[in-house]
Structure 1
Amino acid sequence: MGFISFVGRVLFASLFLLSAYQEFIEFGNDGGPAAKTLKPKFNLFVKLVSKNTGLGVPHIDIKTVIAATMFLKGFGGLLFIVSSSFGAFLLVSI
């Protein structure tokens, strides 16, 4: 039963690891297609947060956000394979 559980964790984590690898390959100078898709949503989020809180939100480059999600997917996937609950938390937080 332990081997089947391990294979399941590897298969599930491979989705996140392959997604992070694809984003890394397509990253380029502008952040790739992920940045183009996320940029309008991120700008709307920043506008809503600054409007509702009345505080200025510091400028965060979209490439930094994409790089952070790549890291969380990769690191969380690897930790999930070794049966770490922290790895599962990282994958849920993406």
Structure 2
Amino acid sequence: MAFVSFLGRVLFASVFILSAWQEFNEFGIDGGPAAKSLRPKFNVFSKHVSIQTGLQVPDVEIKYLVAAAIALKGLGSLLFIFGSSLGAYLLLLHQAIVTPILYDFYNYDVDKKEFTLLFVKFTQSLALLGALLFFIGMKNLIPRRFRKKAPKTTKTA
């Protein structure tokens, strides 16, 4: 059972590892294609936050956000593979921050093709969030130490 659990964590984390590896290879000086696609979405998101809360989102270099996302995905995945709750929390943090920014279906009309594509991606990210929450919940249910049972006594005639 331990091997199956390990294999499941490897397969789950492979989504994040492959994504982090691709973004790392394309990073370049300006953050690569990930930064170029994130910039307009981050601007729209920061405007929404400013309008809704009245708080000003700090001006941030997008390439640093992409680098932080790569680090969260890479480190979180490696820790998660070995069963660490910290890895799951790092991946959870990444998903919670990135999902509403990247998959902004709420900015499109329901009739648009983009709405459907983004909504599907958004729900897939929610499924990953749910799996991470499930892992954390199950990890917290398992006691840290297993108590040894008293040895059975045998009856002698």
TM-score by length of 1: 0.89
Percent identity over the alignment is: 64
Runs ≥4 in structure 1, deviation > 4 angstroms? none
Aligned residues: 94
Separation in 2 of the partners of 1:56 and 1:7? Answer: 44
- The higher-RCO structure (CA 8 Å, 6+ apart) is 1
Which whole-Å deviations, capped at 9, do the CAs of 1:6-35 have from their partners, x for residues lacking one? 111112212211211110000012211111
Unmatched 5+ stretches in structure 2: 95-157
Segment drifting more, 63-72 vs 52-61: 52-61
Which structure has the greater CA radius of gyration? Answer: 2
Residue matched to 1:8: 8
User: Where in structure 2 are the equivalents of 1:1-94 lying within 5 Å?
Assistant: 1-94=1-94
What residue ranges of structure 1 are gaps of 5+ in the alignment? none
Question: Which one has the bigger helix percentage?
Answer: 1
Give the TM-score normalised by structure 2. 0.56
- Specify the SS of the correspondent of 2:23: helix
